Structure 1
Amino acid sequence: MKGLFDFSEVATYFFRKKDPNRKTNFNLRTMHTINKVSMLMFLVGLIYLVFKLMTR
């Protein structure tokens, strides 16, 4: 059960430092931005559902 609620990888994904040796392009930056937005939307929805169930 402990592994189900381990959000450390999600948190480190948002606060990662940029690698100066890696070449970036528009497609890669766009993909990472879309991934970050979708993870944030999922977490907000999950928090909303938890609060909605708690207030019943």
Structure 2
Amino acid sequence: MKKIFDQILRYLYIKKRDPDAPTNTNIKLMHGMNRISILLFVIALIIMITRLFFKHH
């Protein structure tokens, strides 16, 4: 579980990248898509939580 959390922190540029990790175009594109999906997921969670707590009747 810690390894997954560390990878997410690296995707979001919160933690430094591993210097021994391989880098090529495909990996960079994959990490970019993962960043987008994580950010969209967080945005969707925020919207769902605000709608849950601030329902307008």
Displacement of 1:39: 0.6
- Structure 1 gaps of 5+ residues are 1-8
After the TM superposition, list the runs of 4 or more consecutive aligned residues in structure 1 that deviate by more than 4 angstroms: none
Displacement of 1:18: 2.1
The superposition leaves residues 21-49 of structure 1 with CA deviations (integer Å, 9 ceiling, x where unpaired) of 33310000110110011011011001101
The superposition leaves residues 5-27 of structure 1 with CA deviations (integer Å, 9 ceiling, x where unpaired) of xxxx2762321212223331000
Taking a change above 3 Å as real, the CA distance of residues 11 and 18 of structure 1, as seen in their structure-2 partners, is: closer
Taking a change above 3 Å as real, the CA distance of residues 33 and 16 of structure 1, as seen in their structure-2 partners, is: same
Percent of aligned pairs with the same amino acid: 31
Q: TM-score of the superposition, structure 2-length normalised? A: 0.68
Displacement of 1:53: 1.2
Give the RMSD, CA atoms, in angstroms: 1.9
- Structure 2 gaps of 5+ residues are none
Aligned to 1:43: 42
Q: TM-score of the superposition, structure 1-length normalised? A: 0.69
